[in-house]
């Protein structure tokens, strides 16, 4: 990966265009018919699992998950780290703290959290920009909306990064604690393996294949927040959301959840997958799956699997 801070004319361009933007274009549908950005994982420090809340002045990396019907090509990107204008805003509302540019198949943006004196009372920052599929990111001089050179495919992407502190530590969940397919262990793919040889193999036109993803109680961290009027310190616990994606067939639900109140030590998130109509499958077809797990404070992780659909 090549990454650089923008300076001079580059900074002027970003300052003039990122002040107005649009929200994320993530498509919630489970089938990956085009190359898409499915999520972002913030990693700071050396904790295991990784910390999603960098401390003031601390370096971190933001990895963007890009997936599609085939192996994604090189993605070029430009991002600004800034303070949202209002709580919940998904674009920059002020001059960015820093600007970053680079290219890679899976974009990794190396950021540095502003220092405490710069952050002031801010409890989060925003990373906002454009990821382009094989083309340079550009910005419309009139609207300020990001685009990709030559009309190439791309995604406007944003992620909110919480400021870490003694009371605001959050770790990323772990996506791969064990997955089964129709009750059988489903190991992670090995580079070079053909899923139509190693399996699992399933017939086209079949439905209700059950994917179970194991989680752990530790993935749902406990924390405190101010709640009520007047606000009082209240104990809370995270929930988990699983988003399944596939290159062939479809999942019956876009999301599945592990509730914060679930008492299990290793609760299981279940998703059901349907293969394509048999009339649409004339040959053995490899299938790629991506499973994204999020907690409700910004922690994210993902894992992949493969299978084969037969005529």
Say yes or no to pLDDT of 206 above 60: yes
The residue among 136 and 20 whose pLDDT is bigger is 136
202 and 83 in a single domain? The answer is no
Q: Is 7 within a domain? A: yes
The edge-to-edge listing of strands for the beta sheet with 300-310 is 201-203, 300-310, 285-295, 240-246, 256-258
The residue among 45 and 206 whose pLDDT is bigger is 206
Say yes or no to pLDDT of 290 above 80: yes
pTM value is 0.86
Spatial distance between the Cα atoms of 284 and 114, rounded to a whole number of angstroms: 51
Spatial distance between the Cα atoms of 223 and 218, rounded to a whole number of angstroms: 12
187 and 285 in a single domain? The answer is yes
Say yes or no to pLDDT of 140 above 80: no
Q: Is 124 within a domain? A: yes
Say yes or no to pLDDT of 15 above 60: no
**Residue 300 near residue 41 (C-beta atoms within 8 A):** yes
CATH number at 241 reads 2.60.40
pLDDT level of residue 108 (50, 70, 90 thresholds):
very high
62 and 145 in a single domain? The answer is yes
pLDDT level of residue 141 (50, 70, 90 thresholds):
low
pLDDT level of residue 139 (50, 70, 90 thresholds):
low
Tens digit of each residue's pLDDT (9 = 90 or more) over 230-250: 888 889 999 999 999 999 999
For position 142, what pLDDT does the model report? Answer: 60
The domain tally of the chain equals: 2
Say yes or no to pLDDT of 114 above 70: yes
119 and 202 in a single domain? The answer is no
9 and 141 in a single domain? The answer is yes
**Residue 57 near residue 112 (C-beta atoms within 8 A):** yes
Q: Which of 44-53, 136-145, 250-259 has the lowest mean pLDDT?
A: 136-145
Say yes or no to pLDDT of 94 above 80: no
For position 88, what pLDDT does the model report? Answer: 66
28-37, 133-142, 289-298: which has the highest mean pLDDT? 289-298
156 and 280 in a single domain? The answer is no
Three-state DSSP class for 225? Answer: strand
For position 46, what pLDDT does the model report? Answer: 82
**End-to-end CA, the chain:** 40
pLDDT level of residue 45 (50, 70, 90 thresholds):
confident
Say yes or no to pLDDT of 224 above 90: no
The two tokens of residue 290 are 């991506």
**Residue 112 near residue 59 (C-beta atoms within 8 A):** yes
The residue among 7 and 121 whose pLDDT is bigger is 121
118 and 210 in a single domain? The answer is no
Mean pLDDT of all residues belonging to the chain: 86
109 and 6 in a single domain? The answer is yes
Domain range for residue 236?
179-310
12 and 92 in a single domain? The answer is yes
Tens digit of each residue's pLDDT (9 = 90 or more) over 261-276: 999 999 999 999 999 9
For position 286, what pLDDT does the model report? Answer: 97
148 and 187 in a single domain? The answer is no
Q: Which of 5-14, 31-40, 60-69, 234-243 has the lowest mean pLDDT?
A: 5-14
């Amino acid at each position: 990966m090549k990454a650089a801070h923008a300076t001079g004319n580059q900074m002027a361009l970003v300052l003039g265009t990122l002040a107005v933007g649009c929200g994320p274009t993530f498509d919630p549908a489970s089938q990956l018919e085009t190359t898409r950005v499915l999520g972002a994982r913030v990693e700071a420090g050396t904790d295991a699992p990784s910390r999603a809340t960098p401390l003031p002045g601390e370096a971190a990396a933001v990895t963007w998950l890009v997936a599609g019907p085939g192996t994604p090509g090189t993605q070029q990107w430009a991002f600004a780290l800034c303070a949202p204008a209002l709580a919940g805003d998904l674009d920059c509302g002020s001059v960015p703290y820093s600007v970053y540019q680079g290219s890679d198949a899976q974009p990794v943006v190396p950021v540095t959290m502003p220092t405490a004196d710069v952050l002031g009372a801010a409890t989060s920052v925003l990373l906002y920009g454009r990821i382009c599929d094989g083309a340079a990111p550009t910005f419309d001089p009139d609207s300020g909306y990001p685009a990709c050179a030559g009309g190439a495919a791309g995604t406007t992407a944003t992620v909110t990064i919480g400021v870490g502190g003694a009371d605001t530590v959050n770790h990323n969940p772990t996506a791969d604690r064990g997955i089964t397919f129709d009750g059988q262990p489903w190991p992670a793919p090995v580079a070079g393996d053909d899923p139509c040889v190693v399996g699992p193999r399933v017939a086209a036109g079949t439905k209700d294949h059950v994917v179970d993803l194991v989680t752990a109680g530790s993935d749902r961290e406990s924390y405190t927040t101010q709640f009520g009027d007047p606000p009082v310190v209240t104990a809370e616990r995270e929930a988990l959301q699983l988003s399944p994606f596939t290159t062939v067939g479809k999942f019956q639900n876009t999301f599945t959840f592990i509730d914060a109140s679930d008492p299990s030590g290793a609760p299981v998130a279940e998703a059901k997958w349907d293969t394509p109509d048999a009339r649409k499958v004339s040959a053995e077809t490899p299938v790629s799956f991506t499973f994204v797990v999020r907690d409700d404070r910004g922690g994210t992780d993902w894992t992949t699997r493969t299978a084969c659909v037969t005529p």
